[in-house]
Amino acid sequence: MEIDTKIIAHRGSRGTRPENTLVSFQAAIDDGCEGIETDVHFSKDQQFIIMHDETVDRTTNGTGLVKDKTLAEIKQLDAGYRFSEEFKGTRVPTLQEVVALLLKNNFTGIFNLELKTNKIHYPGIERAIYEYFSSIHYSFQLIYSSFNGKSLEILNHIDPKAVEARIFTTAAKQAKTLKRSKVIEDFHPDIKWLKRHPFFAPARHLRPWLVNATEDMQYCFEKNMAGIITDYPGRAVQLRAEMRGE
């Protein structure tokens, strides 16, 4: 069976490692994924912080908003012990540290960077990210995504060549408007929503999330979607190989 669907690791191998940490990203790469998805915020001193939530409470031993802490303060936090004792002492990475890991691994797949600006809009983060990537050489495919359409519009204005995707749960109408305006290229819909709206868009423009159940993985592979975003990249790689007859 021909399956070109790329497997994108959601916050790394989130199902088996503490999310959005270097150990999680390394595990996903070792499992053979073709993509890494992660989230970026601004710290108090405008450093790029890799974390999903606006606060540090859920994933570390700290409390409070990312935007109210300096990088030095965030680096004191433990991002692993809540997952298990095995990962106690794991630190919150910066965007630069994640990129360095990808380059060290000669990673040439998709790097999906989600701008977490839908609840707190960090002024200037879009230009800062653009200037950072403009200043380095990298071999991976950079894709920006966000629940905040305004952030994607700002990025598109700064860099019309940027590849962008609109993440959504139910805001399909806004996503299609952005597509028609050529602000975005692809859609990252909730898999539950997508299965209720199977004719929303051509498979080649779809990378649904969060594809963790075996039946959802099979559904996406059978339709040969552009990619899936999953907490279990190792499991997805194995299932895809089986369906390909490898």
Q: What DSSP element (H or E) covers 219?
A: helix 214-222
d(Cα 194, Cα 85) in Å, to the nearest integer? 37
**157 among known catalytic residues:** no
Q: What DSSP element (H or E) covers 189?
A: strand 186-189
| C-beta separation of 229 from 167 below 8 A | no
Q: How many residues does the chain have?
A: 246
Q: Which two tokens stand for residue 229?
A: 């975003």
Q: Which of 41, 52, 121, 197 is catalytic?
A: 52
Tokens 């990808």 -> residue: 102
d(Cα 79, Cα 118) in Å, to the nearest integer? 23
| C-beta separation of 87 from 26 below 8 A | no
Output DSSP code: residue 185.
S
**52 among known catalytic residues:** yes
| C-beta separation of 194 from 206 below 8 A | yes
- Helix-helix angle 95-104:125-134, to 10 degrees: 30
d(Cα 53, Cα 82) in Å, to the nearest integer? 15
Catalytic positions, please?
10, 52
